[in-house]
Chain A
Amino acid sequence: MFKITIDNILIEVEEGTTILQAARMIGGKVVPPAMCYYTGLKGSGGKCRSCLVKVAKGSAKDPRPMPKLVASCSTPVQDGMVVENTTSAEVQEARKGVVEFLLINHPLDCPVCDQAGECDLQDLSYGFGMEETNTREPRREYPVVDIGPLIKLHMNRCIHCYRCVLAAEQLTKKRAHGMLYRGDTMEISTFIQTAIDNDFSGNMIDVCPVGALTDKTFRFKSRVWFLNPMNAHRECSKCSGKVTAWMFGNEIYRITGRKDQFGEVEEFICNECRFEKKDINDWVIDGPRKIKRQSVISSNHYEELKKGSIIHPIEGTTEPQE
């Protein structure tokens, strides 16, 4: 077991754990935000740079600090490592910079975006974004690509996290979309006109941290915060059948995977459960799902949030030690 200190909180973790995972074990405000890392997707992480932290002490053996901020999601812990997240002004500044970069080409169309209310970028901006924009350059606009009747691709909102590509690669046999071109014209696309169609493609929606991939069968139906998330299950031959049903009265508006406090699904679900079973008689409703993420859908408590304190569970919040 390795001892590691994050924002002055000591925790023992197993060798091979990343800094981010260790921070998640502590929970609360010390958890760095993650826009591209996704525990269930092999090879994810390291790209968005929003989880950068400072390693003030490399390890007990080699106490030198690391020269640059590191991506906590992909840096394994060392015994005796000391990490600063919320306690480092440098980290907070860098994170502000990253949020600014993610936003300069984002359309900021939250009012018409189905992801609003459960959007990681919205949360991140609220936590670390600036109140005014510094850019007066026109925002990047991609041509619209239709990827079929189930999923809406809205490329202008994409933050190029690669999660959907990894999900398609790892959950399906023959991935029909990918990351094309490069640099700031890099694009998620199918390259040729085709519908993305296989039993697990809908998980692209769940793993997308922003509104770039949304459920077409739920498009413009309701704001997420007007719906009641309910745990539901059914017998399914393709997946576990354990889902969250988003309901208004007795009507099911949409089905998603069950997401944990870090926005990651517990189990990937199949397209049949997600898109075809919208009748309440299709499901056994287990009861209300407690949404542990702090976001409008769970708390309606934006006024309680302080700057820099976004994305942490409501219960058992651990404060960084001063």
Chain B
Amino acid sequence: MEKGSKVNHHLFVRENKAVSFSDETLAKIRSLIRRYPEGRQKSALLPVLHIAQEELGGYLSVDTMDYVASLLGINPMEVYEVATFYSMFYLEKMGKYVLEVCHTGPCAICGGEEVLKHIKDYLHIETGETTPDGMFTLKEVECLGACGNGPVMQVNTEFYEHMTEKQVEKVIEELRQKQGEEGTSKGWAEQFS
């Protein structure tokens, strides 16, 4: 949410860095495109952006989006419009782990706001900020659809449920220990048959 009434958008820079998917991922993307009727390859935009964000640096740079546009044969502006609409796409470099804490109604009445505040104190960062070591970025998000198990947090699209102040510390410390290791959850490309 914007602070006060100032909208804090800014223009982005095209760095003209070469970005590309692996051959394996490209094959997967081609098969995704075939799921939609001919001439409707733009339909694959959301799944391809998910894969791009995950495999090409953890966020969508202008270069990444231009690359996706060229793969799908669409105007880059169409990609920018879509990427800025959906809240799961990041436009800036994020920490290794993005802590997305739900603070919508059902989670809030079960202590979601306290958990959020505790993470801020524990990591000494505000919402939207990344820890100096580049490990954690904190995001406030709206309903994640797991209200029965609130408060809920997602870390890089993995659900952590029934969060308490203690639990959240534990999760953060475990993630710290995992540094260098790859996550256990399957990536976007692997989700699709």
Contact = CB atoms under 8 A, between A and B. Distances in A.
A175 B74 CA distance: 11
A138 interface: yes
Nearest to B66: A192
A139 B7 CA distance: 10
A192 B81 contact: no
Contact of B84 (A177, A182, A192): A182
Given A142-B7, A177-B77, A193 B13 contact: yes
Nearest to A180: B84
Contact of A181 (B5, B14, B85): B85
A179 B81 contact: yes
B88 to A, nearest CB: 13
A138 B11 contact: no
Given A174-B75, A175-B77, A191-B80, A180 B9 contact: yes
B178 interface: no
Contacts of B80: 178, 180, 191
Contacts of A176: 77
B2 A185 contact: yes
Given A140-B5, A176-B77, A181 B84 contact: yes
B17 interface: no
Interface residues of A, number: 25
A141 interface: yes
B12 interface: yes
Interface string B127-152: 00000000000000000000000000
Contacts of A182: 84-85
B91 to A, nearest CB: 9
A164 B175 CA distance: 47
Given A139-B5, A141-B5, A192 B85 contact: no
B158 interface: no
B78 interface: yes
Given A178-B78, A179-B81, A180-B80, A190 B5 contact: no
A268 B100 CA distance: 48
B7 to A, nearest CB: 5
B75 A140 contact: no
A142 B12 CA distance: 15
A142 B9 contact: yes
A185 B87 CA distance: 13
Interface in B1-51: 2, 4-14
Contacts of A175: 75, 77
B62 interface: yes
Interface string B67-98: 00000000101101100110000000000000
Nearest to A142: B7
B7 A140 contact: yes
A189 B4 CA distance: 21
A160 to B, nearest CB: 13
A314 B11 CA distance: 45
Given A175-B77, A179-B81, A182-B85, A143 B10 contact: yes
10 contacts: A140-B7, A143-B10, A178-B77, A178-B78, A180-B80, A180-B84, A180-B85, A185-B9, A191-B62, A191-B77
Interface of B: 2, 4-14, 62, 75, 77-78, 80-81, 84-85
Given A178-B78, A189-B11, A193-B13, 8 more contacts: A140-B7, A142-B9, A182-B85, A185-B9, A187-B9, A192-B13, A192-B14, A192-B62
Q: Give the 10 A-B residue pairs with the shortest CB-CB distance, closest first.
A: A138-B5, A191-B80, A180-B84, A178-B81, A178-B77, A181-B84, A185-B7, A142-B7, A193-B11, A182-B85
